[in-house]
Chains A and B, each alone.
Chain A
Amino acid sequence: DAGITQSPRHKVTETGTPVTLRCHQTENHRYMYWYRQDPGHGLRLIHYSYGVKDTDKGEVSDGYSVSRSKTEDFLLTLESATSSQTSVYFCAISATGTKDEQYFGPGTRLTVT
């Protein structure tokens, strides 16, 4: 199994509060991704990173920001959480971003009340 951990695994927060999810990898892979999974939508890309301090937006980036100050860590921040951001969040990594598969972390279940 690829060495990917996500923290926290579960979180309940109130509308309007900031939330940061962490993804940590031990594989030294260059590419890292944040997805959200919702019923009827599958997985949707929020943001991705192709190197330290290099990030780009995905399909559903509004309301989210990311940071990557070290190869091993990719942080996803909800500046002011809303109920529509209640979801399961997955981090993924890949070595080259070309024809290699992405390895996914175990997920974080976030509930915004």
Chain B
Amino acid sequence: DQQVKQNSPSLSVQEGRISILNCDYTNSMFDYFLWYKKYPAEGPTFLISISSIKDKNEDGRFTVFLNKSAKHLSLHIVPSQPGDSAVYFCAASVGGTASKLTFGTGTRLQVTL
């Protein structure tokens, strides 16, 4: 039972345009959400997080939006750069902690020139 779902396995975006990566969850107890980026042969690296008391969090080119009623979050990357090409995982946890994370299956983003 996949509690965190990333329904798009891949996404291709032109350099300079906006990339929008989506994530849906089913467990209404999740109250803390994170996005990680992963390059091949490396471990995931943290990008941005959001607590359920907020609906938006921004960090430079990265913005995460949370829609609790729809159990949906999205990551916006503006403008997209070739170095953003990677696999992006969303993750969720219960109790406002970042300890026991439940990950989605990942979306591979390719930013083309």
Q: Which residues of A are at the interface with B, using a C-beta cutoff of 8 A?
A: 4, 31, 35, 40-45, 48, 50, 58-59, 90, 92, 94, 97-107
Contacts and interface: CB of A to CB of B under 8 A. Distances in A.
Given A97-B97, A97-B98, A98-B96, A41 B105 contact: yes
Contacts of A101: 34, 46, 49, 98
Range of interface residues on chain B? 20 to 34
B103 A44 contact: yes
B110 to A, nearest CB: 18
A104 B45 CA distance: 7
Contact of B42 (A41, A44, A48, A107): A107
B81 to A, nearest CB: 21
14 contacts: A4-B43, A35-B103, A40-B105, A43-B89, A43-B101, A45-B102, A58-B100, A94-B99, A97-B98, A98-B96, A99-B49, A101-B46, A102-B46, A107-B42
A43 B44 CA distance: 10
Nearest to B90: A42
A31 B103 contact: no
A59 B1 CA distance: 11
A102 B89 CA distance: 13
Contact of B98 (A40, A98, A107): A98
A104 B99 contact: no
Interface string B78-105: 0000000000010100001111111111
B101 A45 contact: yes
Contacts of B106: 42
Contacts of B44: 43, 90, 104
With most chain B CB atoms within 10 A of its CB, the pick from A58, A99, A107 is A99
A34 B10 CA distance: 26
